[in-house]
Amino acid sequence: MTIDRRSFVKNTSIAVFGAALPFSGVFAQNRFAKYAGKTITINVPAHPHYDAMTKLLPEFTKETGIKVEIDKLAIGRLKEKQLLEMAKPQGDYDLACYIVMWKGEYVAKNLVHPLEPFFANPALADPAYDMKDIIPIYLENLGMVGGPKGYLAGPGAQLYGLPYGAETSVLAYRKDVFAKLNLKVPETYDDFGKALRILKEKSGMGALTSRGQAGHQAVHAWLLHLNPLGGSVFDDQWKPRFNDAQGVAALKFLQEVVATGPAGIPGFGQGESNTAFLQGQAAMYLDSTSFAGVVSDPARSKVVGNVGWALHPRGTRRASQSGGLGLTIPKNAKNAEAGFLLLQWLTSKAQDKAVTRLGGAPIRNSTMNDAELVRQYPEFEVFREALKHSNPDWRPIIPVWDRINVQALGIGISEALTGKKTAEAALNDLVPQVTQIMRESGYKI
C-alpha cells in the first residue's frame, strides 16, 4: 500500500513535468513578463512559517515585477473568511493558505483550482522546479484530493495545493533532565508511560506537555496517541471505531499525560503547550516539527542547547503525524496565473532553503539534506526519519471532519480530560452523535 501510494505520487509528478519539459525552456525567461506590475493578494495565517515567508516577498517582487499584498488573519478565523471570499463571483485572494483538514471541503465545493493545468502550461511552469523533490508524504497529505477515501494518493487523486508549512510529529526531550535521572529516551509507548511517572515524581517539573483545550486541540492531542497505538477514527466502511480498545487506550494515555504533565493541560491550546516546554515546566514535548525553530531561539526559549529530538515512540506500530498548512489557488482568483507563479516560486528549491534559513518549515528533500542547513538544524536528521513513518491517514480528512472534530469529539475528549467522564464513557457516548453526523453527510452507515 505504502509503495503504491508513493510511487503514485512520484509518477503523477513525473507525468506533469514530463509534459511541461519540452517547451518550458523557451518560455522560462519571460514567464513573469506578462504579469509584471500586477498586484496579487495572498491570504495567510499569523504563523511562524508565514512570518518567515513574508521576509522573502520583496525578493519575489524584485525578480518578477509582481507586487504582493498580504492579508494576514488569526488562524482560527482563516476559514470563515476564505469561504465567504471564495463564494463571491470574483474573490480578493489569488493564493490562500489552508489547513490540511479543509482540502476535501474546498474541492467538494469547487472552490479551488487543480494545479496540473498550471504545471502543464509551458508558459508558466518552471523547468527546474523538480516536483519529485517535494517530500512525497507532504505532497499527498496537503495536496491530493479525490483518491482513495477522498484524501489519499492513488487512483483518482489530483493535486489541488502544495504543502507550505507542513509538519510531522517528533518527540523533544530535555537532555539535561534525562541525563540527571539516568533516563533513557522512550522508544516505545511502554517506556513512554513509565517515563511519564518517573519524570513527574523526580524531575520537579511536568513530564510531557500537551494541548488539551476543548475542540480541535484536545482531539489533536488524542490523535497523537491513537495512531501509534493502532487505532483510527473510522473503520474502512466509515463506521466509528474510535471507542474500541485502541481508542480507549489512547485516551487513557492522554489522561495520564494530563495527570503527570504541567498543571492546566485541559485548558492548553498550542501556545500554552509550547510555552510550558520552552519555559522549563515540562520535560518532554510530542507534537509538530514546526516547533524546532522556536526551541533554539534564545529570545523565546529558556531551554536552548538542552533539547534532544527523537522519533515519535512506537506503539503497536511506528507512526508519526501528517498535517500542517498548504497553499492553493481559489477558483475565483483575479490573477490565478500570477498566483501560481508566486506559489511555484515560494515552493522552489532555492526559496524553500531561504525560508528554512529564516526559521520556516522545509517541504523539500533537498532542503532537509542540505549540509549547511543540517548544521544549522541538526534535528533535521531525526525529522527525515520521522517523515518515513508519517501516516497520511492520520485523521479522516473528509469535508465533515471539522464538525466531528470540534463539535463532537472535541467536547467528549475534553470531558474525559477533566475527569467528568471515564475514557470509555466519553468515547461510547460520542458514537451516536458521530454516526448521525456521518449519516447526515451522506455516508451509508
Partner 1 sequence: MRTSRFTIAVYLAPAILVMAAACLYPVLKAFELSGYKWDMGTAASSAKCVGFDNFIAAFSNPQVWSSLSTTLLFAAVCVSAEMVLGIALALALERQVRGMAVFRTIFILPMMIAPIAVGLAWRYMFDAQFGLINALLGVVGIAPKTWLADPTLAFVAIVIADIWQWTPFVFIMMLAALAGVDRSVLEASRIDGARMWHEIFLVKLPMVMHVIAITLVMRLIDAFRVLEVVYVLTFGGPGNSTEILALHVYKTAFIGQQIGVAAAVSILLLVVVAVLSWAALRLSNPMKDSA
**For the chain, first and last CA: distance in Å?**
25
DSSP H stretches of helix in 189-347: 189-202, 216-226, 245-260, 270-278, 292-295, 336-346
Complete edge-to-edge strand list for the sheet that includes strand 206-209: 206-209, 282-288, 169-174, 307-311
Which residue from 79, 113, 200, 395 is in contact with partner 1, where contact means CB under 8 A?
79
Among 17, 227, 415, 434, indicate the residue that binds partner 1 (CB under 8 A): 415
Q: Which stretch binds partner 1 (CB under 8 A): 14-22, 81-89, 350-358, 386-394?
A: 81-89
Residue 423 as a binder of partner 1 (CB under 8 A): the answer is no
CB of 438 to partner 1, least distance (A): 13
Nearer to partner 1, 43 or 213 (CB): 213
String marking each residue 98-137 x if it binds partner 1 according to CB under 8 A: -------xx--x-x--------------------------
Residue 30 cell numbers, joined? 519571460
With respect to partner 1, which residue has the nearer C-beta, 30 or 407? Answer: 407
Q: What does DSSP assign to residue 139?
A: I
Is 148 among the residues that bind partner 1 (CB under 8 A)?
no
Task: Pull the grid cell for residue 17.
Answer: 513535468
Choose the binding region for partner 1 from 37-45, 192-200, 312-320, 400-408 (rule: CB under 8 A): 400-408
Residue 445 to residue 431: CA distance in whole angstroms: 12
Q: Between 1 and 299, whose beta carbon lies closer to partner 1?
A: 299
| Stated length of the chain | 445
Q: Which class for 75: exposed (0-12), middle (13-18), buried (19 or more C-beta within 10 A)? A: middle
**Residue 253: CB minimum distance to partner 1, A:** 18
- Hey, what's the cell of 278? 520552552
Cα distance between residue 29 and residue 50, in whole Å: 28
Member of 310, 417, 423, 438 binding partner 1 (CB under 8 A): 417
All residues at 6 or more sequence positions from 432 whose CB lies less than 8 Å from its CB, including other chains? none
Smallest gap from Cβ 264 to partner 1, in A, equals: 3
* Cα–Cα distance, 445 to 400 (Å, whole number): 15
Residue 84 lies near partner 1 (rule: CB under 8 A): yes
Q: Is 80 in the site for partner 1 (CB under 8 A)?
A: yes
Residue 161 CA to residue 141 CA, distance in Å, equals 10
Torsion sign (Cα): 287, 144, 112, 348? positive
List the one residue from 414, 423, 427, 438 that touches partner 1 (CB under 8 A). Answer: 414
Give the number of residues in contact with partner 1, rule: CB under 8 A: 41
Residue 425 in the binding site for partner 1 (CB under 8 A): no
CB of 284: closest distance to partner 1 in angstroms? 16
Q: Which residues pair with 69 in a beta bridge?
A: 41
C-beta of 249 vs 430, nearer to partner 1: 430
**Residue-wise DSSP of 383-418:** HHHHHHTB-TTSS---TTHHHIIIIIIHHHHHHHHT
* Integer Cα distance of 357 and 355 in angstroms: 5
Among 26, 33, 87, 445, binds partner 1 (CB under 8 A): 87
The minimum distance between CB 417 and partner 1, in angstroms, equals 7
Question: Look-up: residue for cell 485572494?
Answer: 93
411 binds partner 1 (CB under 8 A): yes
Residues 31-50 that bind partner 1 (CB under 8 A): none
Find the binding residues for partner 1 in span 266-305 (CB under 8 A): 266-269, 272, 275-276, 279, 281
Cα–Cα distance, 137 to 5 (Å, whole number) = 9
> Residue 256, interface with partner 1 (CB under 8 A)?
no
Whole-number minimum distance, CB 66 to partner 1, in Å?
A: 27
Site for partner 1 in 186-225 (CB under 8 A): 212-215, 217-218
- Which residues would be at the binding site for partner 1 (CB under 8 A)? 79-80, 82-84, 86-87, 105-106, 109, 111, 212-215, 217-218, 262-269, 272, 275-276, 279, 281, 402-403, 406-407, 411-412, 414-415, 417-418, 420
